[in-house]
């Protein structure tokens, strides 16, 4: 089995970077950040000469307009599952 240099995980709602053998990068999530920010999060990963550069990027979006733009019948305003995480209050 070949070793990997980077493992990318997501959806913990908390961006972080950790070296535990491979570099483990968590980009966070699109919504309900644990720090209370309404921004969506993504991560830019660049590899040059065997070294990884990681840049966490927030993106603002219209939080209240987003539910009406989903493909679900009720939009994203279905009964939310927050799994104990703090985030914006919803109806």
Output the pTM of the full model.
0.54
Residue ranges making up the domain that contains 46 = 6-73
d(CA 23, CA 40): 22
Letter string b/e over residues 30-54, b meaning 16 or more CB atoms within 10 A of that residue's CB = bbbbeeeeebbbbbeeeeeeeeeee
- The total of structural domains in the chain comes to 1
> Which CATH number goes with the domain that contains 29?
3.60.21.10
d(CA 9, CA 5): 13
Instruction: Classify residue 23: in a domain, yes or no.
Output: yes
Dihedral over alpha carbons 83, 14, 56, 40 (to 10 degrees): 20
Instruction: Classify residue 1: in a domain, yes or no.
Output: no
Instruction: Classify residue 48: in a domain, yes or no.
Output: yes
Instruction: Classify residue 90: in a domain, yes or no.
Output: no
pLDDT tens-digit profile, the chain (91 residues): 567 777 777 766 667 677 777 788 887 776 666 666 767 778 888 888 878 888 888 887 776 666 655 555 554 444 454 445 454 554 4
6-9 vs 23-26, strand pairing mode: parallel
Instruction: Classify residue 45: in a domain, yes or no.
Output: yes
Instruction: Classify residue 84: in a domain, yes or no.
Output: no
């Amino acid at each position: 089995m070949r070793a990997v240099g980077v493992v990318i995980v997501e959806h913990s709602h908390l961006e972080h970077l950790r070296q535990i053998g491979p570099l483990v990068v968590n980009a966070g999530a699109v919504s309900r950040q644990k720090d209370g920010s309404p921004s969506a999060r993504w991560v830019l990963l660049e590899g040059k000469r065997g070294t990884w550069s990681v840049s966490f990027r927030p993106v603002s979006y219209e939080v209240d307009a987003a539910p009406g733009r989903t493909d679900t019948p009720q939009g994203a305003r279905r009964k939310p599952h927050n799994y104990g995480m703090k985030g914006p209050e919803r109806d």
